[in-house]
Amino acid sequence: MTYATSILCNWNVKQLKRLFGFSVGLFVLYFLFNISTPIMIKLSLIMLLTGIHVHLYMVRSERIPHTFPRPKRIEFNELVSDIVVHDEFRKLKNFHHHTTPIFEHVIRVAFLSYAVSKILRFDYRAAARGGLLHDFFLYDWRERKAKDTHRSLHGHEHPQIALANAKKHFSVNELEADIIVKHMYPKTKATPKYKESFLVSIMDKISTIYEYMYYITHYPKR
């Protein structure tokens, strides 16, 4: 163990939580309000990775118990099993988001939202299900946009379409509905009512960035 790590491992749980909180705070400022610089996002990621490293070391050395609940893929699958096997929902495999099928995109958003919500002790069930249903529209948005003289109707309308489809086929509570209909914030003006709605909106943008970066790096233009 390095000298720097040994110093960090002498922190208490309160200090470790502050490190995570400050990292997430910078991340939120960067993506939602665009008031920080690229160096801030790098600093945020460095602090987040440092906190994870220190926390895991402290847990493995039995100095502290797990500070945060642990996300589990099996639990996530159980929370959303009725949705992912539904025939209408599986039609999302036939439509593309940006670089991947919508089905793959919403699975990624849902799992990230579930994992972070569980760690932060948010309503991870609603985050998982709302994240999964946030793009439940069954059409090619490129075709729709090509016929749209304003070039913006899809961005503003598809959350409402997704919510209508979700309510038609599944039981959707108030929190899940808010997550679905406000995931395009701040493009859509209505402010999310719940912290889970903010979180899913952020995870949606992170997933989109990841998908674009993966496509660019793995399928460069010839």
> Do 141 and 152 touch, CB atoms closer than 8 A?
no
Residues 78 and 118 in one domain: yes
Tell me: the pLDDT tens digits for 22-72? 777 776 766 666 555 667 667 777 777 777 767 666 666 666 666 667 888
| Within-domain flag for 189 | yes
| Within-domain flag for 66 | no
- Average pLDDT value for residue range 194-215: 89
What pLDDT does 88 receive? 95
Residues 113 and 140 in one domain: yes
Residue for token digits 């959350």?
A: 159
Residues 105 and 42 in one domain: no
Residues 94 and 7 in one domain: no
User: Cis peptide leading into 186, omega within 30 of 0?
Assistant: yes
In angstroms, the CA 88 to CA 19 distance is: 43
Residues 56 and 77 in one domain: no
Residues 25 and 96 in one domain: no
> Do 34 and 40 touch, CB atoms closer than 8 A?
no
| Within-domain flag for 177 | yes
What pLDDT does 86 receive? 96
Residues 27 and 79 in one domain: no
In angstroms, the CA 169 to CA 20 distance is: 38
| Within-domain flag for 210 | yes
Residues 123 and 191 in one domain: yes
Task: Give the domain CATH number at 89.
Answer: 1.10.3210.10
| Within-domain flag for 144 | yes
Residues 90 and 166 in one domain: yes
- Weakest-pLDDT range from 22-31, 66-75, 157-166, 193-202: 22-31
Residues 80 and 36 in one domain: no
| Domains identified in the chain, total number | 2
Residues 34 and 101 in one domain: no
Q: Which domain holds residue 94?
A: 73-218
Q: Annotate 4-30 with DSSP letters as a single string.
A: HHHHHTT--HHHHHHHHHHHHHHHHII
Residues 79 and 175 in one domain: yes
| Within-domain flag for 98 | yes
Q: Is the pTM of this model over 0.75?
A: no
Instruction: List, as own/partner pairs, every contact residues 111-118 make where C-beta atoms lie below 8 angstroms and the sequence separation is at least 24, other chains included.
Output: 111/73, 111/76, 112/203, 112/206, 112/207, 113/196, 113/199, 113/200, 113/203, 114/71, 114/76, 114/79, 115/71, 115/76, 116/199, 116/203, 117/196, 117/199, 118/68, 118/69, 118/70, 118/71
| Within-domain flag for 68 | no
| Residue 221: band (very low, low, confident or very high) from pLDDT cuts 50, 70, 90 | low
In angstroms, the CA 21 to CA 111 distance is: 21
> Do 105 and 97 touch, CB atoms closer than 8 A?
yes
| Within-domain flag for 65 | no
For the chain, how many residues are written?
222
- Residue 118 has φ and ψ, to the nearest 5°, of -65, -40
